[in-house]
Amino acid sequence: MEGTEVRKLAALEDTHWWYRERRHLLGRMIDGVAPGRALDIGAAGGGNTRVLRSAGWSVAALEYGEDGAQVAAERGLAVLRADATALPVADGALDLVVAFDVLEHILDHDAAVQEVHRVLAPGGRFLVAVPADPNLWSEHDVAVDHVRRYTRTTLRGVLERGGFDVTSMTSWNVLLRPVVALRRRTSSGSDLEEIHPVVNAGLRAVVAVERYLPVKAMPGVTLMVEARRRD
């Protein structure tokens, strides 16, 4: 992702409905899990890193680009700058790895998943979020340097090839999928932009309703996975 997009994301993520709800979902995914050593790959502004830190995890943010690493450091986070296919972490050193909106940027996503497997301890957890459905491909994906969108089959395949057992795979942003699909047909760039506070609050209310509805098996905009290292 270009440096300008990283800084735009960092400026938006504290208040933007998409990122706020995603932080809530991450909090639910780690709820009840004893804190340990964690790595947040592709941390950008560090919103998810801060969720982990607040929950008691010893966590570092990992960023490939200089801008992302600098933003995370400016926010007081421990930062590693490296490629996700060559993590500067010892074998079996981690209990948890988070990679939200990361794999879709990496040409060799198999190598990245295998690296995560290497650095996780036996039974370690891998939390993943990726953009769903190639039919939603648009100029937004091009602007933020995506190389693919995933189906349930392709995402499960790369994780299982890399040595993981998928324990949960759910769709997210299901209710707003028709709106996203319509917007993406006419988009000419990234969706990372500031929106009116009233619209922001309305969208957050809609997406928050999904917490309580049986829609997680339906097509959405994002796929979210919990997986465990297979030994």
pTM value is 0.92
Q: List the helix and strand counts (H, then E) for the chain.
A: 9, 7
C-beta separation of 26 from 44 below 8 A: no
Residue 182: predicted pLDDT: 85
Residue 187: predicted pLDDT: 67
In order along its 231 residues, the chain shows pLDDT tens digits of 555 566 666 777 788 899 999 999 999 999 999 999 999 999 988 899 999 999 999 999 999 888 888 888 888 899 999 999 999 999 999 999 999 999 999 999 999 999 999 999 999 999 999 999 999 998 888 888 899 999 999 999 999 999 999 999 999 999 999 988 887 777 666 666 778 889 999 999 999 999 999 999 999 999 999 999 998
What domains can be seen in the chain, in order of their start residue?
3-229 (3.40.50.150)
Comparing CA positions, the residue from 155, 162, 41 lying closest to residue 99 is: 41
C-beta separation of 201 from 94 below 8 A: no
Residue 7: predicted pLDDT: 67
